[in-house]
Structure 1
Amino acid sequence: MSYPQAPISTCPPLPNITLPDGFTGQDVFVQTFFEGPPTCKCCKNWVESEPAEAPPEVKQKYVGTAIIKYKCKDHTSTTVGGLRQYKIQWMDILSPLIRKEIKPLLASLGYDFPNDAMTLHAPFQALYFGQARISDRFARLEEGCDDKQHLKLLIDVMKDLFVDLAPRVNDLLGKGKIDAAHLWVLFPKGQIVHSRHLGHVQAFQVRSLKDWNLYCRYVAYDGAAFGWTYTNIRIHEFVGTRSANELEAYPIGFHPRHEELKEELIERGRKSLDYQGISFSDYEGPAEGRIVRVYDEEEEEDYGPETQHIKATGRVVVDAFRGADYVSPMGSLGTLTPGASEETKLPCPQGRRSTPEEQDIYRSRIGVNRLWLMLMSPKTVAYHLKEKVWVSVSVEGLSPTSWEDDAFEQLVLPKSTKDLVLTFVESHKTTQALGSDFVAGKVSDKVKRPLYHLQAGEMGSKPSSLKSSLQKAFRLCEEWDGVLLLDVLLATLEYYSGIIFMTTNILEGLDPAIVSRLDIHLEYSCLDFPTRLQLWRNLLPPPPSTPQPSPSGTDDSSATLPAPAATVPDQHHSLTEDDFLDLASWKVNGRDIKHAVKNAWRWCFIKGKPVTLEALQTGLITTAPGSKREADVEDDGFNGGKRRRIE
């Protein structure tokens, strides 16, 4: 139910009384007006005494009254004969002495009255939650002083207001329940409540309750500063009584593990302080984001964004500042105010990233404020490298990246070539990008940098969309200090100062102007027998207790493609050394070997048996149906020599 913000006009109007300046509210008495029978269709008719059937003539308004109460008919209940009861709907506290005494008391509870006017509306939350402090103040005032005489009026009004309320509320709360009529009792301003908001357990600080909407705030980070952000939680309407902890939000003290929950929220808040800058992380859990399609500047057409929910398992780049442009922009955050002194003021950069020094200030100042930590948002914004989309992720699902330290060692290239590539990347101070592929993925893991893989289909078909996609990728890679992998040839290659891995299967079709701009050229020729043998062994490792045989006849190349044991962790094979030699005799490439192993592995896993030579040969035939053994083909017949892949 909503209440008027100022006294409703009367018809006919109550006469004004001319009083000396400063006289308002000086008389020590309370005046009550009642809603009388209407005299027109637009106004309330206020009367001085409670009407029976016919109200007396309206009398003058007593502007010298310290407190004016306004009683309206209670349309939620009736008495015998159909007569309505009257309830106080709002009151004006005109006495300057009362206002002087109670304003600071109510302000300490979060109820502010910025000017001389002081109008309170039913159900009078400020007085209910502040009655103990007001009574204590009254008891400490000197007997007979004007302040005490005036405050005694308010004490008596509060007793009348809450005489029936306190027993009812105490009985309900003692049972852990609440009824619809007294729901507001659970939510004083500043109350800390628990809620599962958008799938996350979270704590909020109450601002107000109105029409079943609980208006709250919590602490969030936008990549530049920490501050208050505001939301509302809808309490589903109900009748009768309901258990307090079954509400969509409820005081955290009603949670069965409230003390443990508080500590868990505080620890999660501390973890959030570690993700102020740019962090490369692993993520496990649900996420929500928007697919931002390619924007065509010429046609001014934007294909998106579209909201999507994904199970975002994989590597992400946490970047709240850049991600704010794509996921759930919060707008301006309210300023956190720990204190007035210079020593406690927090930085508030606008329009830029927070500096490492500013992040340290937040970490030290917020890290000791348990309330702020408890109210910290459970989410941050990250870029999912595999899905190529900005997502809102849970801080709890983030963990340090699990780098594949041996991935680079398994790369099939001469040792001198690998050393050149690694040195080139490690020494490039401004390297940036994201993505994963054959060489680039292993290099990025070796140097512990994110890899951004940009493909032709993601960049659009027009020059404007191509330029926009490249500029976005370049900007992110430069900010994240990553490695960019492009599967296309670039018109704007000349202007990029980072590191790019480019791949193609058609060497002869490369534009000489592009080739001349590449520092290192890595060509993959046909695999020889020793290399194929090593690949089969890498992809089919023996059980941990069995030593792996050393390859024979290999050069200084090393293996590639990690074993798929993570997909089927308990699966083993029954291959002998002769079986490996047989498999290596098939003239196939590394991708064919990988797919053959994967298919055979899954097949045997479903059948509940170890991987056999027969299963691998079957997988190889179905993967590369044109493949033959080395002894059955001419030396120049393998792979035709027409399509070569370079990186």
Structure 2
Amino acid sequence: MSAVISQLQGILEKAKNLKIRLPKVYTDEQWESLSCLSAALESTAKTLRFTQTLLALATTRLGRIPTVPFDDVIKGKGRGINILLHGPTGVGKTFTVEATAEWFKLPLYSISAAELTIDHGDLYALEGRLDSIFKVAKHFNAVLLLDEADAFMEQRTSYLDEHNRLLTVFLRNLEYYEVILFLTSNRAIKFDDAILSRIHLKIKYGDLTMETRREIWKHFLSKAHTPEGPSSIEGEDLYRLESLRLNGHQIKNLTSVAHALATFDGRRMSYEHLEMAAKSNEKFADEFGESEHLKKMYM
């Protein structure tokens, strides 16, 4: 058995013992089904400048073009890429990470920050999990996503010792692993300066524009086939949909419900099915103050 295989087995066994999920490696067919995600680099990163910077960082660090390695003063330190995506939920942060992985045909390894802090203050367990996660991501050359990473980003204080220790452990691991790491943040927090100083690219997301909402609707509607054929929604109906101030998660969920209704109805999915889906969620929406967005669908 080679030393590389032996080392990999040790990493995988450690990951298994720590209940760490391994990265998903897409098949050729799955890569094909994800091809439309590459558009997210244009539609959600907001500007060509962000898109070019993101691609330049990833391309050079992955060695896809000839380059002279750029190291920290300490050899082997600072070779990873750390990218922060910050903004409200459902505006394309995760979509951008998926698009980056798809663009470079790399597996995506996604883990929630809550999974890392499940032992509440056990710093040895946290360090073990981080060590295994970074090693597995490095071996598979995976894009690593730490989702909802606010717990690792918030500014340290003089009275939250547990949070301060957690952040110290995270910073120590962040510096020595050569991976492409995305961190997403949903909450309006004050970021710790030490974390921000280690972030290569920061992208702030605002609410979706009408144009972006249109592209999201078109993406999910293109997937909403029933045995009777593709969705019949286009033209004026699509214009009405893009004017609704819904985020990406809401659009996906509404389309999913409408698709189920159309399939059960034995018809192609139509605007009528989206109306039915919206009405069936009206009571839920009222409780969360979102009813005005949905009521516009059938006013």
2:256 to 570, 585, 598: 598
* 1:438 CA drift (Å): 2.1
Task: Trace 1:1-150 onto structure 2 (pairs within 5 A).
Answer: none
Note if 1:450 corresponds to 2:136: no
Given that 1:432 and 1:482 are in contact with CA atoms closer than 8 Å, whether structure 2 keeps it comes out as no
Which residue number corresponds to residue 220 of structure 2?
A: 539
- What is aligned with 1:514? 195
| 2-structure distance, mates of 1:579, 1:482 | 40
Query: Any conservation in 1 of the 2:227–2:263 contact (CA below 8 Å)?
Result: no
Q: 1:481 to 1:596 in 2, by over 3 A?
A: same
1:388 maps to a residue whose letter is R
Per-residue deviation, 1:509: 3.7
Structure 1 match to 2:51: 418
Tell me how far 1:505 sits from its aligned partner: 0.5
CA contact (8 A) 2:81 2:200 kept: no
SS of equivalent residue, structure 1 residue 406: helix
Are 2:228 and 2:267, in contact at CA under 8 Å, matched by a contact in 1? Answer: no
The equivalent residue for 1:482 is 142
- The match for 1:471 among 124, 131, 146 is 131
Letter in 1 for 2:37: A
More helix by share: 2
Contact 1:585 1:630 in 2 (8 A): no
Instruction: Indicate the SS of the match to 2:207.
Output: coil
In the alignment, the residues of structure 1 paired with residue 40 and residue 227 of structure 2 have an alpha-carbon distance, to the nearest angstrom, of 20
1:431 offset after TM fit, Å? Answer: 5.8
Cα separation, 1, equivalents of 2:113 and 2:8: 24
**Which residue matches 1:581?**
239
- Mapped partners of 2:268, 2:29: distance in 1: 32
* Contact in 2 for aligned 1:596/1:620 (Cα 8 Å): yes
**Is 1:529–2:210 an aligned residue pair?**
yes
2:292 is equivalent to residue 628 of structure 1: yes
Q: Do the aligned partners of 1:432 and 1:484 also contact (CA within 8 Å) in 2?
A: no
Q: Tell me the equivalent position of 1:612.
A: 270
What does residue range 137-216 of structure 1 map to in structure 2 within 5 Å?
none
Q: Rg: which structure is higher?
A: 1
Counterpart AA for 1:478 = K
Q: CA deviation at 1:572?
A: 1.9
Q: Counterparts in 2 of 1:323-402, with a 5 A limit?
A: 323=9, 388-389=21-22, 402=30
Letter in 2 for 1:322: L
**1:518 alignment partner, SS class:** coil
Contact 2:258 2:274 in 1 (8 A): yes
CA contact 1:583–1:617 (8 Å) conserved in 2: no
Cα offset, 1:469, TM superposition: 0.5
C-alpha deviations, 1:63-97, integer Å up to 9, x for none? xxxxxxxxxxxxxxxxxxxxxxxxxxxxxxxxxxx
- The letter of the residue matching 1:447 is F
Q: Which amino acid is the alignment partner of residue 425 of structure 1?
A: A
**3-state DSSP of counterpart to 2:201:** coil
RMSD: 3.5
- What TM-score comes out, normalization by structure 1 length? 0.32
Cα distance in 2, alignment partners of residues 399 and 519 from structure 1? 30
Deviation at 1:534, TM superposition (A): 2.3
In 1: Cα distance, 2:81 partner to 2:109 partner: 9
In 2: Cα distance, 1:598 partner to 1:456 partner? 27
Number of the residue aligned with 1:502: 183
Deviations 1:243-268 (A, max 9, x none): xxxxxxxxxxxxxxxxxxxxxxxxxx
Deviation at 1:470, TM superposition (A): 0.5
Deviations along 1:554-595, one digit per CA (max 9) or x if unpaired, are xxxxxxxxx355xx6764222241111111221111111111
1:130-157 residue CA offsets vs partner (Å, 9 max, x unmatched): xxxxxxxxxxxxxxxxxxxxxxxxxxxx
Contact 2:232 2:268 in 1 (8 A): yes
Q: Provide closer, same or farther for how the CA distance between residues 421 and 569 of structure 1 changes in structure 2, counting only shifts above 3 A.
A: farther
Structure 1 residues 585 and 439: CA distance shift in structure 2, 3 A:
same
Distance 1:518 1:469 in 2: 21
The verdict on how the C-alpha distance between 1:451 and 1:534 changes in structure 2, with shifts beyond 3 A counting, is: closer
Structure 1 residue 474 displacement after superposition: 1.3
> Matched residues in 1 for 2:176 and 2:239: separation?
49
Q: Deviations over 1:517-555 (max 9, x none)?
A: 2111112211122222222122213xxxxxxxxxxxxxx
CA distance in 1 between partners of 2:10 and 2:194 (Å)? 38
- Larger RCO of the pair (alpha carbons < 8 Å, separation 6+): 2
| Displacement after TM superposition at 1:631 (Å) | 12
Q: 1:586 to 1:496 in 2, by over 3 A?
A: same
Q: How many residues end up aligned between the 2 structures?
A: 229
Structure 1: any 5+ residue segments left out of the alignment? 1-221, 226-276, 278-318, 328-381, 391-397, 542-562, 633-647
Measure the CA separation in 2 of the matches of 1:389 and 1:410.
25
Q: Matched residue of 2:202: which SS?
A: coil
Q: SS of 2:130's equivalent?
A: helix
TM-score, with normalisation over the residues of structure 2? 0.64
1:518 and 1:389, CA in 2 relative to 1: closer, same or farther beyond 3 A?
closer
Closer, same or farther in 2 for the Cα pair 1:401/1:534, shift >3 Å?
closer
Q: Write the distance in 2 (CA, Å) between the matches of 1:410 and 1:399.
A: 21
